[in-house]
Amino acid sequence: MDRAAQLLGTVFGFDEFRPGQAEIVQAVTEGRNVLAIMPTGGGKSLCYQLPALVRDGVTVVISPLIALMRDQVRSLREAGVEAGALTSGNTQEETDEVFRALDEGRLKLLYMAPERLASGGTQSLLRRIGASLIAVDEAHCVSQWGHDFRPDYLAIGELRRSLNVPLAAFTATADEETRTEMVTRLFDGTDPQTFLRGFDRPNIHLAFEAKNSPRKQILDFADARRGQSGIVYCGTRAKTETVAQALREAGHTACHYHGGMDPSDRRDVEARFSREDGLIVVATVAFGMGIDKPDIRWVAHADLPKSIEAYYQEIGRAGRDGAPAETLTLYGADDIRLRRTQIDESLAPDDRKSADHARLNALLGLAEALRCRRQTLLKYFGEDPEPCGHCDLCDSPPEVFDGTEAVRKALSAMLRTGESFGAGHLIDILTGNVTDKVRARSHDQLPTFGVGKDLSRAQWQAVYRQMMGRDLVRPDAARHGAFRMTAAARPILRGEESIELRRDTIQTAKSRPAVKTLVSEEDAPLLSALKAKRRALAEAARVPAYVIFTDRTLIEMAETKPETLDDMARISGVGAKKLDRYGAEFLAVIAGQTPDPVHPARMKLAGRESGDLYDRLLQAQADLARGEEGTEKPMSCSASLLARVASMQPRDLGSLAGILGERRAERFGPAFLTILQEA
């Protein structure tokens, strides 16, 4: 682990592992079979990239999308790591370069899509190059019932057996059922060493709103975050196009993305999103799994997601750099009705439909939660946290009221009409609205007619929506969406249980609080200047901006204002290669002037204790260049020799002479040893 910890700092620029990473890195490095379930943005990729650098041979990374592989390869190369990808999107020159690096034994990480495993020559290639580890990204794609199922993932288990090498599988979310399926298909049912890390993403602010002029709600949310990269998820392809157009008309840079587009157009959107700051992509769920952009500052759902797992994955695309990010999910009765109908009308067996309803119930429970949103979400994943203080319900606790009587009236209206109608007709009955439909069926003669005049039509709509969200009623697809009561509602109807409802959801939605800024008002101009420098460097290198530095790294620069390359080296995300390539340019933005050039040997020690030792040794050498009396023949040590002394820190004259030679040790030895012993 010492080697891995050293590379963590020198290559990737991090002082320490994130929670849970060190144990996973150690297990993968030691060649154990590993299944790691970690939150999106929790640093999964580092858990196989670091072991790949420590271990002999080539690590093969199976990844689901070309865009994801290309992003990771770019980032690794920028950090000085030999990595390559074999994909259908490669140019011939790119493919030739990958094979050349493999033949020369330089490549440490080889990315490939699961579809390539079907090629007869793939296993022969991997044996020839000495593949010593398989890493599987987005491992939940092996689950046939998962929302991201990829049939070619089923071949990974056979590849592991054929190569007889360890396998490390990573995913951001997997319930017990999916976890079991991964173990069966990837590890032949033999339990790997499993790491289940906390699912919390504390930097992401969670918020839901009932739909109330939903397009305006999305536009208002985007306006408060103008200039920040974001994703808006929509339930239909057509809606992605209309919402994107509305955003453009409001002055945003926005484009749409869905599975019906030409593949080249989709690739153009992916490339733009990776490279451009402040672009908004309005998309179906086809967009996202292949996007490794760490500085997405917000994610909005214009429609309710399919399940709580889908919701978790989609919001998880925000704030992967650890800096603050925000989410907003809109939902309404039509969303709930649509999702229920999709499940009921699917071709899945009954037990699968039941499981899908349960997943949707969990999401609806999150949407209709009365208290801390994050608590509700994390409890679904088996955790029991304290209230977060960082979600919409913690920011503004909702007003609740005893809704038992309202729910009993709503249920009574359903039962007295034979569970044959939807919310509109039932609300007419409850509010005493004599329509032609009510009169034709003599429903104005029912005991429940007019018993709900104390609530407005909008309030009754919210009551029924909350009842759907609590799974007290469900739309029946076989009866054109008519409500039917579930078993969960019977105790309330019989007066055996009470229920609380949120009053704020049956009133006009309140305006959202102002967006939280990434830095203080004082530091904002510097952050903008740093982003401009990053953008210029990225455009010149034709790479995404975050490949240079992530938002989180720039935020730390703006807040701490490093003055030297040593200070810069201590910024999270500034590894040795990036310090050498970009450190001086960003220091010039911060300090207003370019720092003096630094010898490469000294640059390698930047930010470390040995860097300070080097500077003190250099000063002592200058003082003794002509001896203690200043009369002797000039003598000096090369920068590389001083760097070796600073790094190795010998403690006696003999060891020092072994590095410097007898003559230099005689002149500089006592002074150097005094400095080293004081360290």
DSSP for 545-583, please give it.
Answer: HHHH--HHHHHHHHHH---SHHHHHTSTT--HHHHHHHH
Q: What is the mean pLDDT of residues 260-266?
A: 88
* Highest averaged pLDDT of the listed ranges 65-69, 198-202, 254-258, 502-506: 254-258
Single-letter amino acid, residue 196: L
Long-range contacts of 525-530 (CB under 8 A, 24+ apart): 526/557, 526/558, 526/561, 526/589, 526/590, 527/554, 527/555, 527/558, 529/589, 530/554, 530/557, 530/558, 530/586, 530/589, 530/590
Bridge-based pairing of strands 400-402 and 500-502 is antiparallel
Spatial distance between the Cα atoms of 403 and 410, rounded to a whole number of angstroms: 11
Mean of the per-residue pLDDT values for the chain? 88
Strands, E, within 365-524: which ranges?
400-402, 473-476, 482-485, 500-502
* Torsion (CA) 409, 412, 417, 422 in degrees, nearest 10: 50
What pLDDT score was predicted for residue 10? 87
| Percent of all residues in the chain with a pLDDT value above 90, rounded to a whole number | 44
Q: Which residues pair with 60 in a beta bridge?
A: 110, 134
Whether 98 shows a pLDDT value over 50: the answer reads: yes
For 140, 191, 421, 485, 600, the CA distances from 179, given in Å and listed in that order, are: 8, 10, 40, 33, 48
Single-letter amino acid, residue 282: V
Angle of helix 350-367 relative to helix 457-469, nearest 10 degrees, comes to 130
Least confident of 192-196, 326-330, 379-383: 379-383
Q: Does this chain's domain 204-331 share its CATH topology with 400-502?
A: no
pLDDT band at 517 (very low <50, low <70, confident <90, very high): low
DSSP 604-655: TTTTSHHHHHHHHHHHHHHHTTTTTTT-SPP----HHHHHHHHHH---SHHH
Which residue has 């504390």 as its token pair? 202
Spatial distance between the Cα atoms of 583 and 412, rounded to a whole number of angstroms: 70
Name the nearest CA neighbour of 163 among 184, 136, 133: 133
Model confidence pLDDT, tens digit, residues 428-481:
999 999 999 999 999 999 999 999 999 999 899 889 989 988 889 988 877 777
Q: What is the mean pLDDT of residues 43-56?
A: 93
Whether 182 shows a pLDDT value over 80: the answer reads: yes
- Statement: 524-575+582-594 belongs to CATH 3.30.160.270: no
Q: What is the mean pLDDT of residues 184-196?
A: 91
How many CB atoms lie under 10 A from the CB of residue 518?
Answer: 20
Spatial distance between the Cα atoms of 490 and 505, rounded to a whole number of angstroms: 24
Q: What residues contact residue 329 under an 8 Å CB cut-off, 6+ apart?
A: 207, 208, 209, 300, 301, 304, 305, 311, 315, 367
| Percent of all residues in the chain with a pLDDT value above 70, rounded to a whole number | 96
The three-state secondary structure class of 161 is helix
- Statement: 2-196 belongs to CATH 1.10.287.1770: no
Whether 148 shows a pLDDT value over 80: the answer reads: no
Spatial distance between the Cα atoms of 311 and 639, rounded to a whole number of angstroms: 55
Q: Are 39 and 316 in contact (CB under 8 A)?
A: yes
Name the nearest CA neighbour of 299 among 41, 572, 19: 41
| 636 backbone dihedrals φ, ψ, rounded to 5° | -150, 165
Please report which helix (H) or strand (E) contains residue 301, including its range: strand 298-301
Model confidence pLDDT, tens digit, residues 305-364:
988 888 988 998 899 888 899 999 999 888 988 888 888 888 888 888 888 888 888 899
Q: Are 169 and 34 in contact (CB under 8 A)?
A: yes
Spatial distance between the Cα atoms of 600 and 580, rounded to a whole number of angstroms: 8
pLDDT band at 187 (very low <50, low <70, confident <90, very high): very high
Domain positions in the chain: 2-196, 204-331, 400-502, 524-575+582-594, 609-678
What pLDDT score was predicted for residue 295? 86
The top-level CATH class assigned to 204-331 is alpha beta
Spatial distance between the Cα atoms of 392 and 675, rounded to a whole number of angstroms: 56
What pLDDT score was predicted for residue 500? 93
What pLDDT score was predicted for residue 506? 53
Spatial distance between the Cα atoms of 294 and 323, rounded to a whole number of angstroms: 9
Whether 513 shows a pLDDT value over 50: the answer reads: no
- Count of residues for the chain? 679
Q: Are 70 and 87 in contact (CB under 8 A)?
A: yes
Confidence (pTM): 0.75
State the CATH architecture for 400-502: Orthogonal Bundle (1.10)
pLDDT band at 568 (very low <50, low <70, confident <90, very high): very high
Spatial distance between the Cα atoms of 376 and 630, rounded to a whole number of angstroms: 75
Topology of the domain comprising 609-678: DNA polymerase; domain 1 (1.10.150)
User: Six-digit token pair at 335?
Assistant: 């969303």
User: Six-digit token pair at 252?
Assistant: 């945003």
Spatial distance between the Cα atoms of 217 and 204, rounded to a whole number of angstroms: 19
Name the nearest CA neighbour of 196 among 404, 44, 7: 44
What pLDDT score was predicted for residue 145? 64
Whether 516 shows a pLDDT value over 60: the answer reads: no
Euclidean distance between the first and final Cα of the chain, in Å?
A: 25
Please report which helix (H) or strand (E) contains residue 280, including its range: strand 280-283
Whether 499 shows a pLDDT value over 50: the answer reads: yes
| 555 backbone dihedrals φ, ψ, rounded to 5° | -60, -45
What pLDDT score was predicted for residue 509? 43
Name the nearest CA neighbour of 425 among 446, 403, 405: 446
